[in-house]
C-alpha cells in the first residue's frame, strides 16, 4: 500500500459502539424505537469498509432491562459480524446492565462481581472497566477495582492501553446527566495518570463528545438506539430518534483518532470509487499533488463541471 501522506497506516483499527439498549422479545424502547436496525446497519458498514478491524468495543448499556434474551439477541447480532471481520469483542458493563445477566449471557458464568477484564489485541491492551453501581444509574469504582487496575497498568503494553468504561470521567454538557456521572473521578485520575493509558472510550451520554481527563483523551461514542440532543433547552433532557452513530478508532504510533460513523441510512451525494485512489497511488508525489490538489487540474475541473451541470 502506497503512503499518500505523512503517516503510515494505523497500527490498530477498533470499532467503538455504545448504548445498544436492547429489550427482550425485541420490544421497542420507550414503545417508540426499534433498537436493532442501526446496530445491524453499523455492523454492515464495518464489513463493507474492508478496514482491518481487530476489535469491536461495546461500552455498556447493552440491554436496557438486563433481560437474558436481550443479551442473547445482542450476542447473536454482534458475534457473526465480528467473526467475519476477524475481530474480538470487548463487552463493557453499563448502568442498565446487571452483572448476573451480563456475565451469564455474554461470558457463560453468572457473577455479581465487578466485570473487569483485559483483552490483548496484538500489542494493544484494552481494559474493560465496570463503572456501575448495582441498583443505581450513576457510576463508581470500588477500592478493589482501583487496586486491580493499578496492578494491571504496572506493566505497560507494547502499543499502550485503551480504557473502556461506560461512565465518562468528564463533566456533562446536559446538566441533569451530572447526577448520573462517575463519582470520585479524582481517584481514577490518580491511578491512570502517567501510565500507558492512551485513550478512554466511554458511552452513557448518548451523544458523541470528547474531552481530556488526567491528561488522557476521552472519546464518548453516541448511541445506536436513540441519541440525546445536547442543544436541548437548558434544564431539559431530549432523547431523539436520529443521529445514531458508532466510532472508528485508529491507533497510530503517536496519535489516536476517533471518527464518527453514521448508523442510519444516508444518501450519497459525492465521492470516488477506489479505482481513483489506485490511479493516484500509482503517481509520483508531485504528480499526485498536481492531479488531486491543484484547483485547476483536469480532475478538479471535472468536479466543478459536474456541480454546475443540471441533472
Ligand atoms: Fe444508555
Ligand atoms: Fe448509561
Identify the helix (H) or strand (E) that includes residue 126.
Answer: strand 124-129
Q: Which residues have CB atoms below 5 A from the ion given as ligand 2?
A: 61, 94-95, 204
Residues above pLDDT 70, as percent of the chain: 97
Strand partners of residue 209: 220
The rounded Å distance from CA 304 to ligand 2 centre is 46
Give domain limits for the chain: 12-262, 274-306
Give how far Cα 265 sits from Cα of 43, 86, 166, 277, 292, Å: 13, 25, 26, 25, 29
Q: Look at 72-76, 164-168, 270-274 and tell me which has the smallest mean pLDDT.
A: 270-274
pLDDT per residue as tens digits for the range 257-269: 999 999 999 999 9
CA distance 49 to 209: 24
For range 196-205, the mean pLDDT: 98
CA distance 40 to 78: 8
Using CA atoms, how far apart are residues 45 and 266, in angstroms rounded to an integer? 12
Burial grade of 180 (CB within 10 A; 0-12, 13-18, 19 or more) = middle
State the DSSP H helix or E strand holding residue 113, giving kind and residue range, or none if neither: none
Query: What cell was used for 250?
Result: 485508529
Q: Say yes or no to pLDDT of 299 above 80.
A: no
Mean pLDDT of the chain: 96
Q: What is the pLDDT of residue 162?
A: 99
Pairing of strands 209-213, 216-220: antiparallel
SS3 readout for 211-242: EEECCEEEEECCCCCCEECCCCCCCCCCEECC
Gap between the Cα atoms of 275 and 292, Å rounded: 14
pLDDT value at residue 234: 94
**What is the average per-residue pLDDT within 85-102?**
98
Question: Mean pLDDT lowest for which of 7-21, 119-133, 227-241, 288-302?
Answer: 288-302
CATH class of 12-262: alpha beta
**What pLDDT, on the 0 to 100 scale, is given for residue 2?**
79
Q: Is the pLDDT of residue 114 over 70?
A: yes
Classify residue 280 as exposed, middle or buried by CB count within 10 Å of its CB (0-12, 13-18, 19+).
middle
Confidence bin at 224 (pLDDT 50/70/90): very high
Q: How confident is the model at residue 309 (pLDDT cuts 50, 70, 90)?
A: low
Which carries the bigger pLDDT value, residue 310 or residue 57?
Answer: 57
Task: Report the pLDDT value the prediction gives residue 308, as an integer from 0 to 100.
Answer: 66
Would you state the pLDDT for residue 176? 96
Whether residue 65 contacts residue 18, with contact meaning beta carbons closer than 8 Å, is answered with no
Q: Ligand 1 centre from 196 Cα, in Å?
A: 28
Q: Are strands 197-202 and 161-165 parallel, antiparallel or unpaired?
A: parallel
Give the Å distance between the CA of 223 and the centre of ligand 2. 10
Beta-strand pair 124-129/53-59: unpaired
Q: How confident is the model at residue 298 (pLDDT cuts 50, 70, 90)?
A: confident
pLDDT at 302: 73
CA of 302 to the centre of ligand 2 (A): 48
Edge-to-edge strand ranges of the sheet holding 245-251: 88-92, 53-59, 12-17, 245-251, 256-262
CA of 21 to the centre of ligand 1 (A): 7
Instruction: Give me the pLDDT at residue 196, please.
Output: 98
pLDDT in tens, 142-196: 999 999 999 999 999 999 999 999 999 999 999 999 999 999 999 999 999 999 9
Compute the distance from residue 222 Cα to the ligand 1 centre, in Å.
Answer: 9
Rounded CA separation 2/292 (Å): 16
Cα 174 to middle of ligand 2, angstroms: 13
Amino acid at each position: 500500500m502506497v503512503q499518500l501522506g505523512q503517516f503510515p497506516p494505523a497500527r490498530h483499527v477498533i470499532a467503538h459502539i455504545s448504548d445498544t439498549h436492547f429489550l427482550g422479545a425485541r420490544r421497542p424502547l420507550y414503545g417508540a424505537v426499534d433498537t436493532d436496525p442501526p446496530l445491524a446497519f453499523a455492523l454492515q458498514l464495518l464489513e463493507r469498509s474492508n478496514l482491518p478491524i481487530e476489535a469491536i468495543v461495546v461500552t455498556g448499556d447493552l440491554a436496557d432491562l438486563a433481560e437474558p434474551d436481550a443479551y442473547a439477541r445482542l450476542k447473536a447480532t454482534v458475534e457473526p459480524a465480528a467473526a467475519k471481520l476477524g475481530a474480538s469483542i470487548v463487552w463493557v458493563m453499563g448502568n442498565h446492565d446487571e452483572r448476573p445477566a451480563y456475565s451469564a449471557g455474554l461470558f457463560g458464568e453468572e457473577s455479581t462481581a465487578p466485570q473487569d477484564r483485559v483483552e490483548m489485541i496484538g500489542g494493544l491492551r484494552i481494559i474493560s472497566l465496570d463503572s456501575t453501581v448495582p441498583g443505581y444509574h450513576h457510576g463508581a469504582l470500588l477500592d478493589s477495582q482501583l487496586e486491580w487496575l493499578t496492578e494491571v497498568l504496572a506493566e505497560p503494553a507494547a502499543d499502550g492501553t485503551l480504557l473502556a468504561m461506560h461512565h465518562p470521567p468528564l463533566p456533562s454538557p446536559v446538566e441533569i446527566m451530572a447526577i448520573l456521572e462517575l463519582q470520585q473521578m479524582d481517584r481514577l485520575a490518580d491511578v491512570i495518570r502517567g501510565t500507558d493509558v492512551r485513550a478512554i472510550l466511554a458511552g452513557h451520554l448518548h451523544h458523541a463528545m470528547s474531552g481530556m481527563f488526567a491528561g488522557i483523551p476521552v472519546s464518548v461514542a453516541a448511541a445506536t438506539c436513540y441519541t440525546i440532543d445536547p442543544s436541548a433547552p437548558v434544564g431539559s433532557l431530549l432523547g431523539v430518534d436520529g443521529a445514531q452513530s458508532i466510532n472508528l478508532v485508529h491507533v497510530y504510533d503517536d496519535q489516536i483518532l476517533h471518527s464518527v460513523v453514521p448508523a442510519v441510512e444516508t444518501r450519497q451525494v459525492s465521492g470516488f470509487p477506489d479505482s481513483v485512489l489506485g490511479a493516484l497511488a500509482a503517481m509520483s508525489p508531485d504528480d499526485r499533488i498536481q492531479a488531486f490538489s491543484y484547483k485547476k487540474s483536469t480532475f478538479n475541473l471535472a468536479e466543478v463541471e459536474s456541480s454546475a451541470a443540471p441533472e
